[in-house]
Amino acid sequence: MLSKLIVAMTLRMPRWFVRWVSRRYVAGSNLQDAVAVMKRLESEGACFTIDVLGEEISSMDEAQFFLDEYVRVMNAIVENKFDANLSIKPTAFGLLIDKQQGLENIESLVRQAAAHDMFVRLDMEDHRVTTETIQVVLDLHKKGLTNVGTVLQGRLHRTPDDIRSVAEKLGGNADYRICKGIYLEPEDIAFTSRSDIRTKTNDAIRMALEHGAYVGIASHDIPVVDFTLDALKEFHMGPSIDDPRANAGPARNGKGPGYEFQMLLGVRGPMRRKLTKQGHRTRVYIPYGEKWYEYSIRRLQENPTIGLQIAKAFLMPWTNRP
C-alpha cells in the first residue's frame, strides 16, 4: 500500500523529479549516455541489449529516425567491442502505418546486424501486433536471417500455442525472451492475477526449453528465477556446459548455452550479480532516448511496487544509479 501511494505521488510530480527517479532505469537521452553505462557495467560481467525508446510512431519519417539510430547503436557496439545486441519495437519501424515499408525497415536492420553476427530482438508490444511480430520473425528466418527472435508473454492465453507453432517452423532456431508481460491486456485474452501470471510464465519457460529454443528468462521475480534454475537442472543445462538438448539449435556468438537471464537496467542488481558470479549469462536491458519520460511513467504505472525503491532513492540518493 505504501509503495503504491509513493508511485501515485510520483506520477503527479514535475518532469525533473521523474527524470531524477528514472536515471536508475534509463541510461540517458542519447547514445553516448548508453555507452557510458555499458562501459561501467561490463566490469561486472554483464552483457547487454540496447533499446532506443519509442514505439507506435505517427509518421514514416520517425521510422527512418529509428532505423538510422539503431545503425548508430550497432556501430557503437562494434567500435567498443561490447557484448551486446539490439532490441527493437516493430511499431517504431512503421509496422502500423505502412506495413510493407515497416517490414523493409526491420529487414534492413536485421541484415546489417547479421553482417556483424549480431542478434536482433523484436520486442513484443500489445496484443494488436502479437501475430504480426511473430510472423516477421518467421518471414526473416525463411530469408536466411536467423539472427532474429521475439518475446513471448506468460500472461497471454495464446503463448503455449505460439511456442508450439513456432517450434514446428523453426525448430531449435527459435529464440525467445520469456517474460510476464508489461501490457495490461483484456481478461478474455490474458491472465490477470499475479499468481496465474507467475505460473503461466514458468510454464512458458519450461515449454520453450522442452522445444529446444534458446530462452532468455526476463524476470526479476525471485520465484520465477528459482523455478528456472530448477528447470535448467532437470534439462542438465547450466553455466559452462554445452547445451545437451538434442533438439536445440547450433551455438550462436554472443549467446549462452541455450539460455540466459535478462534484467532491466537498475533492477535487482544484487541478484543479477549473483547469477553472473555463478556463471550464468546475464543480459542487462539498456533503454535510452528522448522518450525517457513516457517510458518512465509507463514503468511506474505497471509496477507500483517500485515505490519503495523511489523512497530509498530519495532518502539515500547515492544509491540512485543503474
pTM: 0.89
Residue % of the chain over a pLDDT of 90: 73
**pLDDT-based confidence at 59, cuts 50/70/90?**
very high
The answer for residues whose C-beta is within 8 angstroms of residue 268's C-beta and 6 or more apart is 220
Task: Please name the residue ranges forming H helices in the chain.
Answer: 2-10, 15-22, 31-41, 60-80, 99-115, 130-142, 159-170, 194-210, 222-234, 269-277, 292-302, 307-315
Q: Please report where in the chains the cell 518532469 appears, as a residue.
A: 15
The answer for residues whose C-beta is within 8 angstroms of residue 277's C-beta and 6 or more apart is 45
Residue 277 is placed in which grid cell?
A: 558470479
pLDDT at 55 over 60: yes
pLDDT at 105: 98
pLDDT at 143: 98
Q: In whole angstroms, what is the distance from residue 146 CA to residue 80 CA?
A: 24
Q: Characterise 146 by phi-psi region: left (phi > 0), alpha (psi -120 to 50), beta (else).
A: alpha
Q: Collapsing DSSP states into helix, strand and coil, what is residue 33?
A: helix
Q: How far is CA 184 from CA 170, 189, 298, in A?
A: 29, 10, 11
Strand pairing class (47-52; 84-88): parallel
Q: What length is written for the chain?
A: 322
pLDDT at 14: 58
Q: Is 161 exposed, middle or buried (0-12, 13-18, 19+ CB in 10 A)?
A: exposed
Helix 15-22, helix 292-302: angle, nearest 10: 80
| CATH ID of 27-288, from 1.10.1200.10, 3.40.50.720, 3.90.1150.110, 3.20.20.220 | 3.20.20.220
pLDDT at 290: 80
pLDDT at 305: 52
Residue 84 is placed in which grid cell?
A: 551486446
Task: Please name the residue ranges forming H helices in 84-221.
Answer: 99-115, 130-142, 159-170, 194-210
pLDDT at 221 over 70: yes
pLDDT at 15 over 50: yes
The tens digit of pLDDT for each residue in 68-105 reads 999 999 999 999 999 999 999 999 999 999 999 999 99
pLDDT at 304: 53
Kindly state the helix (H) or strand (E) to which residue 214 belongs, with its residue range.
strand 214-218
User: Cβ–Cβ contacts within 10 Å for residue 294, how many?
Assistant: 13
Kindly state the helix (H) or strand (E) to which residue 172 belongs, with its residue range.
none
Which residue ranges make up each domain of the chain? 27-288
Q: Where is average pLDDT lowest: 165-169, 187-191, 197-201?
A: 187-191
Give Cα 76 to chain centroid, integer Å: 19
pLDDT at 73: 98
Give Cα 124 to chain centroid, integer Å: 9
